[in-house]
Amino acid sequence: MERFLLQEQTEPFITFVLGGPGSGKGTQCAKIVETFGFKHLSAGDLLRREIASKSEYGSMILNTIREGKIVPSQVTVKLIQKEMESSDNKKFLIDGFPRSEENRMAFEKIVGTEPNVVLFFECPEAEMVKRVLDRNEGRVDDNIDTIKKRLKVFEELNLPVINYYSEKGKVFKINAVGTVDEIFEQVLPIFAACEAIKQVA
C-alpha cells in the first residue's frame, strides 16, 4: 500500500494535432509515434470505428461525415476519454481534434485538462485537395463536394481553435508542404526539446 502512496503521480502529456483535410496529420502522427512512443488517437478513426461497429450513433455519425460536418462534441469527447482512460501510455497525440470551439470546451469540461502542445500543419488548399483526391482509401468524404464542405468547416470552425491556443503560446506551426521526411524534420525538435514528455510514463 505504502509503495503506491509513495509513487509519483504524473499528469498525461497531451498533444492536439490540427490542420485541414489532407494536410498530412495522420502521416506525421505515425512518425511521431515511431520516434517518441505516443499513443495515437485519431478522432476521425474513432468515429469511423463507431460506424463500423453499428453503435447507436453509427448512422448519425456516417451522415455527418458524408456532409463534412462536425459530430456532436459529447459523442467524440466520450470516445476519446474512453481511449485515454484505458491506455497505459499517458502520452497522447489527439489527431483531428478539437475541430471547433464547442469540441475544445467539451474536452476541457469532460476530460478536465488542456493540451500541453498543439501542432498545426499548415497546407495550401490546392495541395490538400490533391492529396485527399489521391488518397484512394474508399472514404465516403474523399470526394470533391465533401472536400469543399470540409475546407469551409475547417476555416470557419477549426481556425478559431488554433487562434485560441496561439494566444496561449501552445501552437507550433509547421509548413506541411514538402516530403514527409522534410516535414517531420520540423516536428522532431519540438518533442526532442521537451523535457516534460520524458517524465510521463
Ligand X SMILES: Nc1ccn([C@@H]2O[C@H](COP(=O)(O)O)[C@@H](O)[C@H]2O)c(=O)n1
Residues annotated in the binding site, as ranges?
A: 22-27, 48, 69-71, 96-99, 103, 135, 139, 150, 178
142 binds ligand X (CB under 6 A): no
> Residue with CB nearest ligand X?
44
22 binds ligand ATP (CB under 6 A): yes
115-24-38-163 Cα dihedral, nearest 10 degrees: -10
Binding ligand ATP (rule: CB under 6 A), the pick from 12, 26, 58, 72 is 26
| Among 28, 33, 17, 44, residue whose Cα is nearest residue 177 | 28
Half-sphere exposure of 175 (CA within 13 A, CB side): 5
Considering the complex, state which of residue 24 and residue 68 has its C-beta at the smaller distance from ligand X: 68
Considering the complex, state which of residue 43 and residue 197 has its C-beta at the smaller distance from ligand X: 43
Nearest distance, CB of residue 136 and ligand ATP, angstroms: 7
Binding ligand ATP (rule: CB under 6 A), the pick from 44, 68, 98, 115 is 44
User: Angle formed by the axes of helices 73-85 and 101-110, to 10°?
Assistant: 40
Considering the complex, state which of residue 46 and residue 132 has its C-beta at the smaller distance from ligand ATP: 132
Q: Which does 24 bind (CB under 5 to 8 A by kind): ligand X, ligand ATP, none?
A: ligand ATP
Considering the complex, state which of residue 27 and residue 64 has its C-beta at the smaller distance from ligand ATP: 27
Max distance between CA atoms of the chain, in angstroms, equals 60
Contact 79, 50 (CB under 8 A): yes
Binding ligand X (rule: CB under 6 A), the pick from 15, 23, 28, 103 is 103
The count of chain residues that interact with ligand ATP, using the rule CB under 6 A, is 17
Binding ligand ATP (rule: CB under 6 A), the pick from 10, 113, 133, 135 is 135
Point out which residues bind ligand X (CB under 6 A). Answer: 21, 43-44, 47, 64-65, 68-71, 76, 96-97, 99, 103, 141, 150
